[in-house]
Amino acid sequence: MEIQVATLCDSAMDYNSKLCVLGTFDTIGSRAVPIVHPQAALALRICFRSADEGSHKLTIRMINEDGTDIMQPLEAAIDITLPEGAEFLTRNMILNFQPLRFEKAGTYSFEVSVSGEVLASVPLRVIVVEGQAQA
């Protein structure tokens, strides 16, 4: 099992099995807390091979820098069966957040694991900015 794409973005969609991603980012800034990003998506593209066939548990956690969950982990049972003659199978997964809210600045991450094995960790820096940024 291999995660080919794991990114936080403004929006994502599956278009005829193609993962379409718009506005990938790793930092959110605001002048005050709470820090709110109106809309975001965690976009994943996972490749499964014959050795991955069978039942698995997919878990997505949003954690702070101490590894503490800041939202309830999302869990899903997935059952992998490759079509006859196929060497691999890919699936796109998109998790939308409206809004994405943080009570304090810090470093966060979205941790993606399958059957207890962490396959990806997508970092996110949340900062409070002072004054007005200049171009």
Tell me: the pLDDT tens digits for 92-113? 999 999 998 999 999 999 999 9
With beta carbons less than 8 A apart as the criterion, state whether 111 and 63 touch: yes
Domain spanning 2-128 has what CATH number? Answer: 2.60.40.2560
**Domain locations along the chain:** 2-128
30 beta partners: 128
Three-state SS sequence of 3-23: EEEEEEEEEEEEECCEEEEEE
For the CA atoms of 51, 56, 59, 65, the dihedral, rounded to the nearest 10 degrees, stands at: -50
Instruction: Look at residue 134 and tell me whether its pLDDT is greater than 80.
Output: no
Q: Kindly report the pTM of this predicted structure.
A: 0.90
Instruction: Look at residue 61 and tell me whether its pLDDT is greater than 50.
Output: yes
SS3 52: helix
Say what the pLDDT of residue 131 is: 67
Amino acid at 135: A
